[in-house]
């Protein structure tokens, strides 16, 4: 399993528009084979922060979905990104 997690930073007054523009990407990801979860969400305390969380069955399935990455408009809106990829070798129920 592969987990992508971290955060993006955008202008606080642009965050809602950014997330609204991501709705179709989230829907496409969740409908993609191998996607176990995909979420972009507003931070409740920091108005410029967006949380990123994705779970994929394999790196290959992530790569097939990701393609060229975010659109130019989304890329320009991102002021900073702290997102990492984690390869998980085992899972236990919490």
Tell me, what CATH number does 81's domain have? 3.30.70.100
Q: Is residue 92 part of a domain?
A: no
- Name the region of 26 (left: φ>0; alpha: ψ -120 to 50; beta: rest): alpha
Residue 52: inside a domain, yes or no? yes
State the burial class of residue 8 (Cβ atoms within 10 Å of its Cβ: 0-12, 13-18, 19+): buried
* pLDDT tens, residue by residue, 25-55: 999 999 999 999 999 999 999 999 999 999 9
Q: Calculate mean pLDDT across residues 60-64.
A: 91
Predicted confidence (pLDDT) at residue 70 exceeds the cutoff of 70? no
Judge whether residue 94 has pLDDT over 70: yes
Q: What is the residue range of 25's domain?
A: 2-87
């Amino acid at each position: 399993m592969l987990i992508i997690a971290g955060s993006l930073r955008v202008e606080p007054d642009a965050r809602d528009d950014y997330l609204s523009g991501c709705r179709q990407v989230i829907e496409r990801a969740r409908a993609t084979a191998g996607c176990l979860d995909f979420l972009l969400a507003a931070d409740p305390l920091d108005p410029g922060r967006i949380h990123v969380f994705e779970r994929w069955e394999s790196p290959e399935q992530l790569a097939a979905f990701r393609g060229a990455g975010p659109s130019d408009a989304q890329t320009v809106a991102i002021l900073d990104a702290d997102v990492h990829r984690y390869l998980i070798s085992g899972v236990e129920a919490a």
